[in-house]
């Protein structure tokens, strides 16, 4: 089976690796987003997919707008591929492109469709507090993740999973599911299933304001925001920006879901149930653990933070480094 691979971020790399290492599949070319400037040096940096493709001496095409790039469209048409595999490519494919391969275009999507269609399904799934997610392979159509579904694979979401952890897990699951999908599609062992549009939800592009923490919200909601939009959530502390990258909600309803080493640390924190303060206020500092912050409902342990211009550090290191005291307030 001859394949053209469309993908850009790290999430797409395991699928491309599986295809390259499989004797039944031949990757003819890779289509990925143009190199972007990143880092302090603002240097042009290739996508993870391009980096892998180059090591395998594959043809790499990087059109700015694939729907209007006649050169790329001609190359794709001339390849006469059996299937286009699309994993987090980052551009919408035209109907002309969708019609090119024999078996159509197969997308590996990071949710259980029709839930969380769109650009950021993993992040929003965590943000909404879902307990389970997964991968769906589908035949692409001209809509936004609206094509007929092929196969699904589910996985639980743990309380401390963030977008990076879950994304890494789903990337591997997606790679395996794609191979199964291709095999069954070729052998006519799959019957595509239309999506129920009435059950659809959407995972829109993340905006900068989505990273701002509001301490008047419940502790669990803030926790889900921090891990869903990892590692970008921010608050203010002493009039400067503070990234909050890991938290733990101190609610007995969630404690049993935590690893034993985290539970052991929580057991060292004194009973704070009678303390009532304003949202964002540090109400306790426990040795070896760090700061406990009041929210609109419940308490939140700041497990890992990053002050502006400094490295990531544990909550306890942050307390020591800033000489944080009880009564100080996070947020505006």
Which pLDDT value is given to residue 332? 65
For the chain, the domain total comes to 2
Is residue 332 assigned to a domain?
Answer: no
Q: In degrees rounded to 5, what are phi and psi of residue 30?
A: -125, 135
Is 106 known as a binding-site position? Answer: no
Answer yes or no: is 308 a known binding residue.
Answer: no
6 and 154: one domain?
Answer: yes
- Same domain assignment for residues 24 and 156: yes
Q: State the pTM of this model.
A: 0.94
Containing structural domain, residue 308: 208-322
151: preceding bond cis by omega (within 30 degrees): no
Residues 154 and 23 occupy one common structural domain: yes
Tell whether residue 204 is among the known ligand binding residues: no
- Of 180, 203, 226, the residue at which a domain comes to its end is 203
Task: Tell me, yes or no, whether 119 and 236 share the same domain.
Answer: no
Q: State which of 179, 203, 227 marks the end of a domain.
A: 203
Domain harbouring 268, CATH code? 3.10.25.10
Which of 183, 203, 223 represents a domain boundary (last residue)?
A: 203
Q: How would you write the pLDDT of the chain (332 residues) with one tens digit per residue?
A: 999 999 999 999 999 999 999 999 999 999 999 999 887 778 899 999 999 999 999 999 999 999 999 999 999 999 999 999 999 999 999 999 999 999 999 999 999 999 999 999 999 999 999 999 999 999 999 999 999 999 999 999 999 999 999 999 999 999 999 999 999 999 999 999 999 999 999 999 999 999 999 999 999 999 999 999 999 999 999 999 999 999 999 998 898 889 999 999 999 999 888 887 999 999 999 999 999 999 999 999 999 999 999 999 999 999 999 999 999 999 96
Closest to 204 (Cα-Cα) out of 301, 125, 135:
125
Q: Do 144 and 291 sit in the same domain of this protein?
A: no
pLDDT for res 41:
77
Q: Is residue 269, in this structure, part of any structural domain at all?
A: yes
Are 110 and 56 members of one domain?
A: yes
Per DSSP, the three-state class of 194 is coil
* CATH number of the domain within which 51 lies: 3.40.50.170
- CA angle, 166 then 104 then 142, to 5°: 75
Closest C-alpha among 304, 290, 194 to residue 244: 304
Q: What is the pLDDT of residue 38?
A: 80
- The pLDDT tens digits of the residues spanning 205-244 come to 999 999 999 999 999 999 999 999 999 999 999 999 999 9
Dist CA 221 CA 241 (whole Å)? 20
DSSP 296: S
| 258 belongs to an annotated ligand binding site | no
**Whether residue 182 sits in one domain with residue 269:** no
**Residue 70: both structure tokens together:** 């006649």
Residue 330 lies in a domain: no
Segments of the chain assigned E as strands: 2-7, 26-31, 36-38, 43-45, 59-61, 83-87, 105-109, 117-118, 132-139, 149-156, 202-203, 234-237, 240-249, 282-286, 290-294, 299-307, 313-314
């Amino acid at each position: 089976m001859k394949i053209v691979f469309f993908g850009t971020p790290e999430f797409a790399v395991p699928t491309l690796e599986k295809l390259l290492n499989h004797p039944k599949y031949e990757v003819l070319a890779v289509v990925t987003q143009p190199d972007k400037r990143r880092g302090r040096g603002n240097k042009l940096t290739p996508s993870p997919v391009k980096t892998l493709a180059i090591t395998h001496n594959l043809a790499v095409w990087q059109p700015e707008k694939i729907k209007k790039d006649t050169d790329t469209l001609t190359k794709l048409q001339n390849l006469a591929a059996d299937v286009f595999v699309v994993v987090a490519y980052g551009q919408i494919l035209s109907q002309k492109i969708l019609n090119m391969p024999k078996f159509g275009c197969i997308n590996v999507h990071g949710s259980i469709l029709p839930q969380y269609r769109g650009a950021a399904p993993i992040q929003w799934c965590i943000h909404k507090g879902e307990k389970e997610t997964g991968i769906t392979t589908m035949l692409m159509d001209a809509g936004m993740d609206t094509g007929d579904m092929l196969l699904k694979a589910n996985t639980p979401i743990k309380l401390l999973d963030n977008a990076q952890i879950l994304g890494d897990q789903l990337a591997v699951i997606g790679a395996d599911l794609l191979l199964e999908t291709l095999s069954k599609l070729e052998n006519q062992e799959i019957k595509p299933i239309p999506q129920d549009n009435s059950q659809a939800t959407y995972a829109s592009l993340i905006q900068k304001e989505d990273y701002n923490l509001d301490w008047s919200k419940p502790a669990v909601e803030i926790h889900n925001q921090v891990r869903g939009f990892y590692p970008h959530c921010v608050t203010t502390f002493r009039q400067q920006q503070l990234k909050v990258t890991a938290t733990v909600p101190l609610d007995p309803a969630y404690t049993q879901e935590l690893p034993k080493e985290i539970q052991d640390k929580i057991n060292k924190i004194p009973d704070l149930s009678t303390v009532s303060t304003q949202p964002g206020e540090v109400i306790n500092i426990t040795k070896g653990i760090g700061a406990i912050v009041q929210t609109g409902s419940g308490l939140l342990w700041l497990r890992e933070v990053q002050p502006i211009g400094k490295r990531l550090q544990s909550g306890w290191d942050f307390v020591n480094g800033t000489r944080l005291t009880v009564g100080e307030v996070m947020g505006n």
